Amino acid sequence: MSYEHVREVDPEVADALVGEVERQRDTLAMIASENHVSEAVLEAQGSALTNKYAEGYPGERYYAGCEYADEVEQLAIDRAKELWGAEHVNVQPHSGTQANQGVYYAVLDPGDKILSLDLEHGGHLSHGHPANFTGQFYEVEQYEVDPDTGYIDYDELREQAEEFDPDIIVSGYSAYPREVDFGAIQEAAEAVDAYHLADIAHITGLVAAGVHESPVGVADFVTGSTHKTIRAGRGGIIMCDEEYADDVNAAVFPGGQGGPLMHNIAGKAVGFREALEPAFEAYAAQTVDNAKALADQFRERGLELVSGGTDNHLVLIDLRPSHPDTTGKEVEAALEEVGVVLNANTVPGETRSAFNPSGIRAGTPGLTTRGFDEAATREVADVIADVVDAPDDADVKAEAAARVDDLTDEYTLYE
């Protein structure tokens, strides 16, 4: 990845692009929503399809010259159907947030009611946060995880739904380490005659590989990001039954977007093809095994985990019981210095603020793409725990950085 054409035109950007590849090689990407796509996906995303206007859908475009755009989009759709088993798929949303927007716009009117998980408890901005359009156009009420267990209490959710009478219930989360019972949420939605949107942004890959329960065919709408565990490049996707196909398509284009990002859709097609290979199932299973190893080792080192552990690809540490004077931001910064890139995160019952929260979130999708097994992941857990114990100790950080260097040298990326 030398970016020679960019360099000829624009050395500053070329330096930044090369710098980013080196940053990814030399650090451990443990932001739970991130991953490393293959060079095949990168190439597809950097293709000449970026030039093509293809407003409309395969076979029904507003512009001439769409034969290859049609082929690529249809491949992406067909492969998504095979991966997740959906009746209808729209691969045009520019991101997971736009996918959610498409669903809301398809079935809600302004002022309709959304019931969703609170952001501090693991929800997402696009589920009704006041800073997002959803918090302004719709009436939003939020559910929370059980403060004692860290799990969603499905009985309580149902009671809350009966009281609030929402038009849509949103499930699927950004920082929830446990398996989601989509069937229970569907029952709550049906009990109050609400739609159910399952936003599987984080767990798309786990669901595709069958290592997490699937909401497809259960929830009315399933949305996702395509750059997280499914590893198909930046973008979004909507899945639903045929009965909602026309409404969803119209809500995405022309409802909320213009021309599709055909180069990104090419990336999705290639990434989905990779995910249909048997090796992807092993990848997804290893991602979960690694997260469990991470959680185990954290616990052994005296760290407290929200919900006590994990069923998926991420772990949420609540620093308050073990390190009451250390904040998530301090740990995030100290870990970045040693080459572990993760994020500070709010925890249920947050007592600090969203900007300087009490937790850190750590995910294994990126490490697993690099080939990490449980033993290597446990070593990373030790590095993190060492830094959590002494975020200001230069010797500890030097030792941690040396261990990260060894790991990034052994588990290579973009050779």
* Contacting residues toward ligand PLP, per CB under 6 A: 33, 95-97, 124, 126, 172-174, 199, 201-202, 225, 236
The DSSP bridge partners found for residue 304 are 318
The smaller minimum CB distance to ligand PLP, of residues 33 and 290, is found at 33
Q: Which pair of tokens denotes residue 290?
A: 């690694």
Q: How far is CA 219 from CA 51, 169, 238, in A?
A: 36, 10, 12
Q: Which pair of tokens denotes residue 364?
A: 């294994």
Task: Respond yes or no on whether the N-terminal peptide bond of residue 254 is cis (omega within 30° of 0).
Answer: yes
The answer for residues whose C-beta is within 8 angstroms of residue 254's C-beta and 6 or more apart is 55
Q: How far is the CB of 363 from ligand PLP (least distance, A)?
A: 11
Spatial separation of the C-alpha atoms in residues 303 and 322, rounded to whole Å? 6
Residue carrying structure tokens 């918090």: 135
The smaller minimum CB distance to ligand PLP, of residues 124 and 320, is found at 124
State the residue number with the nearest CB to ligand PLP. Answer: 96
Q: How far is the CB of 242 from ligand PLP (least distance, A)?
A: 24
Spatial separation of the C-alpha atoms in residues 196 and 285, rounded to whole Å? 27
The smaller minimum CB distance to ligand PLP, of residues 99 and 388, is found at 99
The smaller minimum CB distance to ligand PLP, of residues 31 and 218, is found at 31
Q: How far is the CB of 314 from ligand PLP (least distance, A)?
A: 10
3-state helix, strand, coil in the chain (%, to 5): 50, 15, 35
Q: How far is the CB of 276 from ligand PLP (least distance, A)?
A: 22
The smaller minimum CB distance to ligand PLP, of residues 27 and 95, is found at 95
Q: How far is the CB of 375 from ligand PLP (least distance, A)?
A: 29
Q: How far is CA 362 from CA 75, 233, 337, 413, in A?
A: 33, 20, 16, 19
Q: How far is the CB of 191 from ligand PLP (least distance, A)?
A: 24
The smaller minimum CB distance to ligand PLP, of residues 124 and 397, is found at 124
